[in-house]
């Protein structure tokens, strides 16, 4: 059964520097995983379900939801790139973990890979924060959105300290 997602592999390749030559089968499984890990916790189940119901019914989003979709796709694309880049680089094969490369390419060093992955994460967090800011600024347009402002804080740290709607930042420094 296909899962409804906001992002397509074509979107992923257009929003990020992933090469058009990368096999879509290496990317398509990461989209629902990424959206489940990074996007749904921001939107909340109610808003996520409403948006996906509209997508399934009409094939597109309209009005305010269409604008929101741009923010969702940006965040989703960069988080998907972040989550998948290690698996594009390294494959689990019968003989163990391998790195694929051709005669005309060279595998980057581990240090360069860490810097590259951190730069991807920095962009993902930028777009995550932009999504949260857009939702917070336009709460009236999205009544199903529930920000994590602590007004309904129950005493456990499941909401406000889990990063559900809190903005993230990264220093981007690897030592």
pLDDT of residue 101: 64
Residue-wise pLDDT tens digits, 145-166: 987 653 333 333 334 334 455 5
Q: What is the pLDDT of residue 100?
A: 66
Whether residue 61 contacts residue 68, with contact meaning beta carbons closer than 8 Å, is answered with yes
CB–CB of 11/77 below 8 Å?
Answer: yes
Quote helix, strand, coil % in the chain, to nearest 5: 55, 5, 40
For residue 112, pLDDT over 70 is answered with yes
60 vs 78: CA distance, rounded Å: 21
pTM value is 0.80
Question: Is residue 55 predicted with pLDDT exceeding 70?
Answer: yes
Q: What is the pLDDT of residues 131-149, one digit of tens each?
A: 999 999 999 999 999 876 5
Using alpha carbons, select from 55, 78, 83, 81 the residue that is nearest to residue 129.
Answer: 78
What percentage of the chain reaches a pLDDT higher than 90? 57
């Amino acid at each position: 059964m296909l899962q409804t997602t906001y992002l397509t592999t074509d979107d992923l390749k257009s929003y990020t520097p992933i090469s058009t030559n990368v096999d879509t089968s290496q990317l398509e499984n990461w989209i629902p995983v990424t959206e489940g890990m990074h996007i749904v916790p921001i939107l909340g189940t109610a808003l996520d379900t409403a948006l996906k119901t509209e997508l399934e019914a009409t094939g597109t989003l309209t009005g305010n939801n269409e604008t929101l979709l741009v923010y969702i796709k940006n965040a989703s694309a960069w988080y998907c790139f972040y989550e998948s880049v290690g698996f594009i680089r390294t494959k689990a094969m019968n003989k163990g973990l391998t790195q694929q490369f051709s005669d005309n390419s060279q595998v980057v060093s581990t240090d360069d890979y860490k810097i590259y992955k951190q730069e991807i994460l920095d962009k993902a967090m930028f777009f995550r924060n932009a999504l949260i800011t857009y939702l917070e600024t336009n709460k009236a347009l999205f009544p199903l959105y529930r920000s994590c402002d602590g007004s309904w804080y129950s005493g456990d740290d499941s909401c406000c300290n889990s990063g559900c709607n809190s903005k993230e930042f990264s220093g981007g420094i690897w030592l």
